Structure 1
Amino acid sequence: MSKNNPYPAQPQTVYQADPTFIQSMQAMKANVIEQSKQCMHRPVRVQMVEGQVLEGTVVHLDSDYIYLKVEMNPETMRQPYNPYYNPYNSSVILPLVLYNLLAITLLL
């Protein structure tokens, strides 16, 4: 190994999740998926861990994401760069990571 190489010869583990934590996260994910199935094709309000709140309709669900169809408001659509902008349709489908969900509320 060269003296100028900043990397160790053997990989060094920087972080490893505790097995109890992993089991807890897997159980939480299974619970979110099960509860989200009841929300399919229904209007919901979703609160994310970082604080964002979105309202839309659940259109799909898989093992990692819940797909939420949201209507774009005129202010969002006028931003200089918006990758979701479609002049023919004011709605987009956002994939939301299940681990980032804090709350899902059915809107009647």
Structure 2
Amino acid sequence: MSYYPTTYHEQVLYQADAQSANYIRNIRHQVQEICRKYKNQYVKIETVDSQVVFGRIVGCEKGLLKLAVRPPHGGDGRLFGSPSWGQDEIILTLVLYELLVITLLYT
């Protein structure tokens, strides 16, 4: 439960304009549909910050992409909070509007 004093005042620090908000919603919807279509497929993701991640799409909802990735340097996934049932993947969550490129990888 949150507590707000009776003299609580609000000051808007940032508010997106309606056109930008609609554009972001459309992008989110488009990427969610792509991720649903290619669920369990291996992809390469490039973010707007030039990070590159390889993994398998395991889910996409509420503006988030869940990607199964291998721990760095063959490490133990438990170090990253994944369950200890012996799987060699961890789940990485990415924000859809930060994605720049999704490339399908063929085996």
With the shorter chain as reference, the TM-score category is 0.7 to 0.9
Whether 2:6 is the aligned partner of 1:16: answer no
- Secondary structure of 2:14's counterpart equals coil
What pairs with 1:1-108 in structure 2 (closer than 5 Å)?
A: 10-74=9-73, 77=75, 82-84=79-81, 88-108=86-106
Q: Which has the larger radius of gyration?
A: 1
Q: Distance in 2 between matches of 1:73 and 1:9?
A: 46
Query: What TM-score, normalized to structure 1?
Result: 0.76
Q: Output the aligned Cα RMSD.
A: 2.3
Q: Which runs of 5+ in 2 are unaligned?
A: 1-6
Question: 2:9 & 2:59 partners in 1: Cα distance?
Answer: 43
Q: What is the aligned residue count?
A: 97
Overall identity of the aligned pairs, in %: 28
Q: Which runs of 5+ in 1 are unaligned?
A: 1-7
Q: Does the 8 Å contact 2:35/2:59 carry over to 1?
A: no
So what's the TM-score if we normalise by structure 2? 0.76
CA shift at 1:73, angstroms?
3.4
4+ aligned runs moved over 6 Å, structure 1: none
- Cα distance, 1:89 vs structure 2: 3.7
Q: Which amino acid aligns with 1:107?
A: L
